[in-house]
Structure formats: C-alpha cells, structure tokens
Structure 1
Amino acid sequence: RRRKSRLRTLLWKTGDKSPTAHPASIPQRPGGEHLKPEFLKVNPLGKVPALKDGDFLLAESVAILLYLSRKYHAAAHWYPPELQACARVDEYLAWQHTAVQLPATNIYLCKSLLPYFSEQSVDPVCLDRLLGKLKPALQHLDREVLAAKPFLATEELSLADLMAFTELMQVCFSCLLTLWGDSGPKAESPAPATLSPQPTAVGCDVFQDWPRLAAWQARVEAALGPELVRDAHRLVLQPRDPRDAQRDPKLAQELVQRLLERLS
C-alpha cells in the first residue's frame, strides 16, 4: 500500500486515544514528482494528496481522510456516528476548501515552493496580500466557531480540527532556509559552514491576533502530542538550500510559471 500526501494527512491506529502518524511517501526534495508519469497514473490531475490502496486510487484530501477513517475504524470522535455531530464535521470540511485550504496553500506556495524553485526571495507584497485572504476565515473561527465550543465541530477532536490544524501550521512553519542574503543566491562563492542560515521564507504566526484560535491550537497539539506534530511537519521544518537540489531545470521553470499564474 503506497500513500502520497501533503503534510496534512495523519493516520492513526485503531483504538488509540490520540492518532499515531504513519508518514506519507513524500519526496524529500520537491522536484515536480507530481507531474511525472508515475504519479499521474495515481492521480491524472497531477495533484497531491493521492492514495493508492491496492488497485484502488483516490484523490482529494477530505475523501482520503474519510476513506481511511472508515477502513481502519478510527475512533468515533474523529468522524462521529451521531447524525448532527457528523453533520458539523461535514459542514466544516465543505466550508474549508475555499475559506482555509485555498488561501493557506497559496501562502505556503508563496513563501516556500516559489522561492525554492525560482531561487528568488519571498515577495513580501504577495505574501501580505495572501495573508489578507486568510483573515476572514481566522476571524470567523476565532470569534464565532470557537466562542461556542472547544473544537471546530464538536466537543471533541475531529477530522475538522485535523484538517484546520495542518493547514494553519503549514502557514506558521518556515519551509525554506538558505545561506542567501537579501541580494539572492551566490552560487559562485558558497558560504562557510559556520554561517547561520537566513530565512528567505519566513514563518507567519496566524494565531497571534486570535486568542481563541491560539488556545484551540494548543489544545489540538496537546491532544495529538508535540512529538507527533513535529514528525508530521518534519519536511516543512527541515532547512533546504535550492543550490543543493537535483532537479530538471525545464520542469522547475514550468513549476515556477504555474505558481506565478496561481498566485497572481
């Protein structure tokens, strides 16, 4: 059984109070693998996550999470059997696609993947604009949803919280650390090994202005366990230098163009 996903996907063992991660198969250095024929056989749209379970192929993160929760009989709190509690989880999962996932993913692309493939510093104007598009969702979650209950859908941790947590933590974490200064890469004169890396893709604390959301983040992390959270996000926490990447220049150029079009 082979699984590919972005970092939002956490799997769990049946009967555990807290989920236990089974790391997805993700390239250690992104190089456009999702556009290559091998991956396109799994998901012809060329998007991650995608799941291959025997001969069964499945795309879309929500569909994958629901499939896995049913197949492995996840604890009831993740996707409650009670009608109205389940409907609350469904409500969040339907809303989050455009309200949270889209702007959060675009922020991640702007501050990490675009600099990685273009070998240019983060565009602060673009980043500020994209952060502004996430703000309405953060305000809604903080002032309305979390004013009524400790978690996003029910009184317990659910798939709604898992989806939101991984999307927002991805925004918070830095993904790309290089030895560049503000002037960009200096491939002809590598920096000494003792030089501290300077971030070209900085973390964004999306919780700092939203006290209820910050308290929710702490509750979710406590429920999951800090070690699990670090392990699940290990790739976005891992420093990367684009000069060390082994990639197809033509494919990198194509990816940069796609990213620029998406973020414009």
Structure 2
Amino acid sequence: MLKFYYDSFSQPCRALLILLEFNNVPYEPCLINLARGDGFKEEFRKVSPAGKVPAIDDDGFQLVESAAIMKYVVSKYRLPDHWYPKDIRKRAKIDEYLSWHTDNLRNGAASYMFHKYIGKKMMGLVHDEKRIKDAKKMLQKSVKMIESRFLKDTPFINSHKITVADLQALCELTQLWIVEGEIDPLRESPKLKEWMDRCTRTLGASFDRAHALLYRARGKGTFNSKLNMSGLKLFFDAFSQPSRSVWLLLETNAIPFVPSLVNIASGDQHTRKDFLEVAPSGTVPAIDDNGFYLFESSAIMKYIVSKYQLPDHWYPSDMSKRAKIDEYLSWHTGNLRMGAAGYMFMKYIAKKMLGKEPEEKNVEEAYNMLQKSMNLIENYYLKDTPFINSKEISIADIQAACEFTQFYMADLDMLKDRPHLNDWMERCKSELSPKFDAVHAMVYLAREKGAFKDL
C-alpha cells in the first residue's frame, strides 16, 4: 500500500492529502511532525533525503516533491483526466502554473507566514521587517498574477475543470487562515474569492478533512516526427540559465525556431509589449507556438518533448521514470536554482550591474544553499545513475547543467572539488556536444573578457 508521509500544517501535504481523499485512493498515513523534529529521523530520511514533506513510498518506489507526487498519483491510479490532462497543451498549461507556483505564490505566502508568525512563535526569532515586507509584496504580486493570467479566461487555474494546480494554489492561500483577519488576499480580490469558493464546493468534505488541524489552530488563535516548427518563437536571454536549457533542447534536437532576444539587463522585460503578452510575469524563457503562449522553462521543455515527439529519454513516457524526472524538476527551482542563481547574483552580478555591495549574510545563505543542493545531487539524484534519476540524459540534466555553467562567467568551477558531479557534467557535455558550446558562447565570452572576475 502507498505510504504517505505528511504534516497537516504543510501546504503541499494538504494538496496531496485532498487529492488522495477526494479520489478514494487507499494509503497508509505516516504523520511527520516537523515542529518536533521528525524530519531529521533516520527512517524518514531514507524516503526523503532532504527531510521534507510530502513524500511517498509506493511498494519501494520512493518520491518527494508534491507536484511530482500528484502527477504520479493521477497516472498510477488512473484518476479522472481533468486532474492532470493527457492533452499536451492542457497539460502544459498546468505545468506552467506548477513551475511558476514554487518561486512565486509559495515563496511569498510561506515566507510571509514564517517571518511574520511562525519563526517568532515556534523558534523565538526576532522579526526581520525587511523580509516580512518583501514576502508580503511577493504574495500580493502573485495573487494579482493568478487573477490576471491564470484565472483570466477560465473558472479554474488555466483550466475549465479543477486540477492539481488548483490544489497547490488553494492550500497555499488557506495557510493564511491560521492568522484569521490579519492578512486576507481574498478581501481585495472578488475574483480570487469566487475561485476559492468554486474549489471548496467541488472538493466538499475532502477539503474540510484535510484542513481540520488548520481550523483548530485558527480557532485557538495559535498564531494570531518533428512537425513544422517555423512558427515557434523563443523569447530568451543567453545569460539566463533556464533560457539556455530550452535553447539547448531545441538545438540538440534540430528543432527550428524563431529567436527573439530579450535583454534583461536593459529592461526589455518591462517595456516589450510583444514579450509581456506572451509572458506577463516578465520572465524568460517563453514561447509563442503559433498563438499558444507558455512560460516557465520546465513546462516548455515538457511541452516540446511531447508535441515534437522527441526521443523518450528526454522526458520518459513510463510513469515511474517520468515521476523521478518531475521530482528533480520540482526540487530544482527552490534549491539548486535558488542557491546558484542567488549566490551568483549577490556575489558578482549585483555589484557589477547595480553598483551595490551585497550583504554578507545573504551571500552566505545563498552559498550554503548551493553547497547543500550539490550535496543532495551527488548523494541522491546521482546516487545510482549516471544522469539525474536516470540512466539516460533528460531535461533534468539540462536544467542542472545550465545552472552550474553560470559560474563560468566569473571563471569559477564549482565542481572541481566534486569528482562525482564533475564526471556527470562531462557526460552531459558529451551527450549535448557540439550544441552545448554553441549555446554557451556568450557565457564563455563574458569569462574571456573577465566581466565578473575578481569582484
């Protein structure tokens, strides 16, 4: 039977719990009390090396990261198609939201709750007003994005029926109920409130059961064959790691596309109307496939693999193999990407481009996250396979490789003292040759010019 490791106060856990309960999927509940330190227990770490929830053990098949688990559950238990549609465009739009969710709504809502309430209540931390303000701003910006983009033309997120994307967003916003009345994104957003009401009506008792402890906390005031692709337009910046990932997938598979350069350093993401129509978030990469718009690199790569029938190893059709790739991609955004991009920006780019000295505390935090992420890749994602969770190269490897190559601009080799990771990178370069070097030409040029050296 499926073992489900969860903490009811965890937003991603509740999303998965609702999916299982609503669809009557049998499971063995394994409660993990994160506040009590259960995340550090050796037995749990065997299933979830990072010590995070949710996690599952399905007769020896282990998986972490809520989005990856929900996709796996939909496939394995043959749940109704609307939860995670088979139609490649419908699925791509759900993937678009799920990829965006981690860095935006989840980052804003979870950070706000932690810095404003949980850190002080449970850990005795002093309020950091700047972090609280930044998190609240991100939360409010994310809510506006959901209204204006993801719920623009549909009653549910990018869909006419409820999906796993709605569960993720819904459970993120319900976390704010713990501090009833102190912050309520729905108060200023009738459209968002209507969406939430639709979700809760649809989910019925499953929603209430999953939120039972949350209601109690609130009540107690606890916290007070390749097709013709000539029409595919890729919006990208060669200095953007996710942009290079999509670019590299297209080039390696000889898929023709119309390049549309977006110069982030010059502010194109704020002024180009053609780009903002495709990517309202103002982030690269983004694609316009003959009127079908999509942003978020992992969603784009999955869409490209499916639509243009690329070799199966890029994003396997086998649901267990695919789930392991999804596991990495979900983890990547909030860990390796955050650590690598954060360290590179604060240590080098911010000073070069903005003339600002970085705060050493922030630099150290990003560096520690980077090191922790590299440890997990070595000890978990590359533990038994030559590529990330796979015997063959996949889009997960492209994402990770392009993150590490960003350091080339500062003439840094973050892998030189890590033979296991270095061997993996060399395998990736070999598989992606000669397109790997072509895609990284601007990065190499920045290194040769010493653009970010010795800052």
Q: What pairs with 1:49-198 in structure 2 (closer than 5 Å)?
A: 49-119=54-124, 126-170=131-175, 172-174=176-178
* Paired residue secondary structure (2:4): strand
The alpha-carbon deviation at position 204 of structure 1 amounts to 2.5
* Paired residue secondary structure (1:106): helix
Task: Answer yes or no: is 1:238 the counterpart of 2:216.
Answer: yes
The alpha-carbon deviation at position 203 of structure 1 amounts to 5.2
Alignment match, 1:43: 48
The alpha-carbon deviation at position 120 of structure 1 amounts to 6.6
Distance in structure 2 (CA, Å) of the matches to 1:221 and 1:90 = 22
By percentage of residues, which structure has more helix?
Answer: 2
Distance in structure 1 (CA, Å) of the matches to 2:167 and 2:126 = 31
Task: Answer yes or no: is 1:4 the counterpart of 2:5.
Answer: yes
Distance in structure 2 (CA, Å) of the matches to 1:52 and 1:203 = 38
The structure with the larger Rg is: 2
Where do 5+ consecutive residues of structure 1 fail to align? Answer: 176-200, 243-260
Q: 1:12 to 1:161 in 2, by over 3 A?
A: closer
Distance in structure 2 (CA, Å) of the matches to 1:124 and 1:207 = 23
User: Given that residues 18 and 206 in structure 2 are in contact (C-alpha distance below 8 angstroms), is that contact kept between their aligned partners in structure 1?
Assistant: no
The alpha-carbon deviation at position 118 of structure 1 amounts to 2.2
* Paired residue secondary structure (2:50): coil
The residue identity in structure 1 corresponding to 2:151 is: L
Q: 1:51 to 1:10 in 2, by over 3 A?
A: same
Distance in structure 2 (CA, Å) of the matches to 1:128 and 1:238 = 28
Alignment match, 1:223: 202
Measured against aligned partners, the alpha-carbon deviations of 1:46-85 in whole angstroms (never above 9, x if no partner) come to: 2111111121111111111111111111111101122211
The alpha-carbon deviation at position 241 of structure 1 amounts to 9.5
Distance in structure 2 (CA, Å) of the matches to 1:51 and 1:203 = 34
TM-score under structure 1 length normalisation: 0.70
Where do 5+ consecutive residues of structure 2 fail to align? Answer: 7-12, 223-364, 367-455
* Paired residue secondary structure (2:78): coil
The alpha-carbon deviation at position 232 of structure 1 amounts to 0.8
**RMSD over equivalenced CA pairs, Å:** 3.0
Q: 1:122 to 1:223 in 2, by over 3 A?
A: farther
Alignment match, 2:346: none
Alignment match, 2:297: none
The residue identity in structure 1 corresponding to 2:80 is: A
Measured against aligned partners, the alpha-carbon deviations of 1:117-148 in whole angstroms (never above 9, x if no partner) come to: 22578777654432111121111111233221
Distance in structure 2 (CA, Å) of the matches to 1:156 and 1:130 = 30
Q: 1:20 to 1:206 in 2, by over 3 A?
A: farther
Task: Answer yes or no: is 1:207 the counterpart of 2:214.
Answer: no
Alignment match, 1:254: none
Q: 1:229 to 1:77 in 2, by over 3 A?
A: same
Distance in structure 2 (CA, Å) of the matches to 1:12 and 1:205 = 25
Distance in structure 1 (CA, Å) of the matches to 2:150 and 2:221 = 40
The alpha-carbon deviation at position 34 of structure 1 amounts to 0.7
The residue identity in structure 1 corresponding to 2:105 is: V
Alignment match, 2:284: none
The alpha-carbon deviation at position 24 of structure 1 amounts to 4.7
Distance in structure 2 (CA, Å) of the matches to 1:37 and 1:132 = 38
User: Given that residues 39 and 52 in structure 2 are in contact (C-alpha distance below 8 angstroms), is that contact kept between their aligned partners in structure 1?
Assistant: yes
TM-score under structure 2 length normalisation: 0.42
Alignment match, 1:198: none
Pick from 35, 55, 63 the counterpart of residue 30 of structure 1: 35
Distance in structure 2 (CA, Å) of the matches to 1:23 and 1:126 = 38
The residue identity in structure 2 corresponding to 1:2 is: K
Q: 1:109 to 1:38 in 2, by over 3 A?
A: farther
Distance in structure 2 (CA, Å) of the matches to 1:229 and 1:144 = 25
Q: 1:229 to 1:23 in 2, by over 3 A?
A: farther
**Structure ranking higher on relative contact order (CA contacts 8 Å, 6+ apart):** 1
The alpha-carbon deviation at position 28 of structure 1 amounts to 5.8
The alpha-carbon deviation at position 164 of structure 1 amounts to 0.8
User: Given that residues 105 and 138 in structure 2 are in contact (C-alpha distance below 8 angstroms), is that contact kept between their aligned partners in structure 1?
Assistant: no
User: Given that residues 49 and 59 in structure 1 are in contact (C-alpha distance below 8 angstroms), is that contact kept between their aligned partners in structure 2?
Assistant: yes
